[in-house]
């Protein structure tokens, strides 16, 4: 388990799949994702079977939060992980997804991002971590900026979303930038 402040990551279990299906079939939750079609439990089970065959460092992790820091109660709310890993150049694309809407806008996405960055830089020794985000996903963009990400550029009108084309933004953070951000927050 990877543990942070009111947040922890664990391996995804088969019992988690109905949550993913519920989240990913909710149009509001799907807004920030590239999914366009309804998802079945059978499809999620196929994804799970393929996912557990990947190397451990390339498997997504379940996000659990502790809504009340005075109680030892943990709630499964989403997932995060690295994709498109390039071990030679020490970089990877990152994704964080909070599917449980009642925990949106409470800082848990930012906490999850900070913890997965710590894992990526401290444990996996990445030099650069990047992400893609739709320009319309302002909640996510604010969270990524709070975690220290910098806008690198955009692909203009690269995604068709809700009847119109939107820009896809590229953001990244380098290991030394993350270390400076971590030191700044500690002082």
> What domain range includes position 125?
2-186
Residue 68's pLDDT band, with cuts at 50, 70 and 90, is confident
Q: Which of 48, 61, 51, 58 lies closest to 2 in space, CA to CA?
A: 61
Position 38 scores a pLDDT of 85
Beta bridge partners of 2: 9
Under 8 Å between Cβ of 12 and 48:
yes
Report the CATH number that the domain containing residue 9 is assigned in CATH: 3.40.630.30
Tell me which residue has tokens 């290991």.
175
Under 8 Å between Cβ of 130 and 85:
no
Mean pLDDT score, 112-139: 95
Number of domains in the chain: 1
* Distance of alpha carbon 96 from alpha carbon 136, whole angstroms: 16
pLDDT exceeds cutoff 80 at 185: no
User: pTM (2 decimals)?
Assistant: 0.91
**pLDDT tens column, 11-64:** 999 999 999 999 999 988 888 887 888 899 999 999 999 999 998 888 999 999
């Amino acid at each position: 388990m990877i543990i942070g402040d009111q947040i922890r990551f664990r391996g995804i279990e088969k019992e988690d799949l109905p949550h993913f299906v519920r989240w990913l079939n909710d149009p509001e939750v799907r807004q920030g994702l590239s999914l366009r079609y309804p998802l079945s439990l059978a499809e999620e089970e196929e994804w799970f079977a393929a996912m557990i065959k990947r190397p451990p460092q390339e498997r997504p992790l379940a996000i659990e939060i502790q809504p009340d820091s005075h109680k030892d109660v943990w709630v499964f709310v989403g997932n995060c992980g690295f994709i498109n890993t390039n071990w030679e150049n020490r970089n990877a694309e990152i994704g964080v997804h909070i599917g449980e809407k009642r925990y949106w806008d409470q800082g848990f996405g930012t906490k999850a991002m900070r913890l997965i960055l710590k894992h990526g830089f401290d444990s996996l020794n990445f030099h650069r971590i990047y992400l893609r985000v739709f320009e319309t996903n302002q909640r996510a963009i604010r969270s990524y900026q709070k975690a220290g990400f910098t806008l690198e550029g955009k692909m203009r009108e690269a995604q068709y979303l809700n009847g119109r084309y939107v820009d896809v933004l590229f953001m990244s953070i380098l290991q030394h930038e993350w270390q400076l951000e971590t030191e700044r927050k500690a002082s």
